[in-house]
Amino acid sequence: MEERLEILKRYSVNSAKELEEKIRRGEINEHPAWEDLITLENLEEMMKEISDDIRNLQKAF
């Protein structure tokens, strides 16, 4: 979560999608922003999976 927030703050965005849009429009230099975007997308996917696992565990009890 901390790394995700750090990347979002670095580029003044609220999501991976917003970061990608800024890169595509040329508002942000591609390097290292593309690498950060990939990291951000991976972190967001992991967070979603963890949330899904927690929800499934709560349903089991």
Count of other CB atoms within 10 angstroms of residue 59: 7
pTM, whole model, 2 decimals? 0.85
**3-class DSSP assignment, residue 17:** helix
Owning domain of residue 47: 2-60
What is the number of structural domains in the chain?
Answer: 1
**Closest alpha carbon to 47 in 21, 12, 13, 16:** 16
Percent of the chain with pLDDT over 90: 97
* Tens digit of each residue's pLDDT (9 = 90 or more) over 42-52: 999 999 999 99
What amino acid occupies position 37?
L
